[in-house]
Amino acid sequence: MNIAQIRPMDVANGPGVRVSVFVSGCRHACPHCFNREYWDFNYGEPCTETQIQSILTLLDKPIIAGLTLLGGEPLQQNLTELASFLKRIKKESRKSIWLYTGYVYNDLHLQKEVMDVLQWVDVLVDGPYLEAEKNLRLAFRGSENQRLIDLHQTRLKGEISLLNI
């Protein structure tokens, strides 16, 4: 898994001030993609122990609410590596984790490897960005089809539960 960019203080991709990690590589090819340079899985730097340590150091600051993972497409990475990365982030930082994907949750939730990743995620922002459904008033997402899925409540209730923000 390569990392394209780390934003140490981001207020656009989830509540509060967050550390945002953009992974490299995406095969969705959305027509209005705003991160085309991140389609290449070789873009950026490999996610090494040094990178993980610096992410944990950033997350340790009291002002930081959590980590947001986006890209690229996080769920097209090596999912075993991604699950172990997120497990470590969750256990060592104890902060919230948001993950943005171009997939729709309904198509993902029966895939064991994906669920091994999502067990460490608090909120999943799902669905591709669709220009036809663009809405600038939406919180933390660009188009109406994208949802903020509360994965704790979803797991608890056995049905998709959305965040009310």
Where does this chain bind ligand SF4 (CB under 6 A)? Answer: 26, 28-30, 33, 35, 38, 71-73, 102, 128-129
43 or 59: whose CB is closer to ligand SF4? 43
Residue 29: CB minimum distance to ligand SF4, A: 5
Q: 101, exposed or middle or buried, with CB in 10 Å at 0-12, 13-18, 19+?
A: buried
33 or 56: whose CB is closer to ligand SF4? 33
**85 three-class SS:** helix
Residue 16: CB minimum distance to ligand SF4, A: 23
27 or 152: whose CB is closer to ligand SF4? 27
Tell me 138's DSSP state: S
Residue 131: CB minimum distance to ligand SF4, A: 10
59 or 121: whose CB is closer to ligand SF4? 121
d(C-alpha 165, C-alpha 15), whole Å = 9
Q: Which of 18, 122, 20 is nearest to 61 (CA)?
A: 18
Residue 36: CB minimum distance to ligand SF4, A: 7
Type of residue found at 14:
G
- φ, ψ of residue 12 to 5 degrees: the values are -95, -15
